């Protein structure tokens, strides 16, 4: 848990319980707090922890960091400046995230695995 992010935000969309005490591992909370501080605004979680079943249903890779409680798909607040703010968030994540960063049309994937970058 952290100042700006609560475990319920990371719950698997299929309702399956997480094996982690705080739904996701503490390193993810720390990463997201750092990104939020650099972004200067709220960050919203599209997808945090995924049960293996939910991960398979959405086409995630078998050993996804989402299943390990180490990843989140994040976005800025929806609104008239969404595209601009998403662009800012992508730049910040690319610069500041020591792990994986995936760039997608409507969100950014971040994790605290090894350093990698990709377009989804």
Domains and CATH numbers, the chain: 7-119 (3.30.1380.10)
The Cα 78–Cα 1 span in angstroms is: 24
pLDDT in tens, 51-73: 999 999 999 998 999 999 999 99
22 pLDDT tier (thresholds 50, 70, 90):
confident
- DSSP lists the bridge partners of residue 74 as 45, 108
pTM here? 0.95
Look at residue 1 and tell me whether its pLDDT is greater than 80: no
The Cα 61–Cα 36 span in angstroms is: 27
Angle (deg, nearest 10), helices 82-96 and 26-39: 120
**What's the pLDDT at 19?**
92
């Amino acid at each position: 848990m952290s100042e700006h992010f609560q475990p319920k935000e990371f719950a698997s969309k299929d309702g399956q319980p997480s094996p982690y005490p705080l739904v996701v591992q503490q390193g993810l909370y720390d990463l997201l707090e750092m990104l939020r501080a650099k972004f200067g605004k709220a960050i919203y979680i599209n997808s945090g922890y995924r049960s293996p079943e939910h991960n398979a249903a959405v086409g995630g890779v078998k050993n996804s960091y989402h299943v390990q409680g180490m990843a989140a798909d994040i976005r800025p607040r929806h609104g008239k400046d969404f595209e601009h703010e998403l662009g800012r968030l992508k730049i910040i994540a690319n610069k500041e995230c020591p792990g994986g960063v995936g760039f997608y049309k409507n969100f950014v994937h971040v994790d605290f695995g090894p350093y990698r970058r990709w377009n989804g």
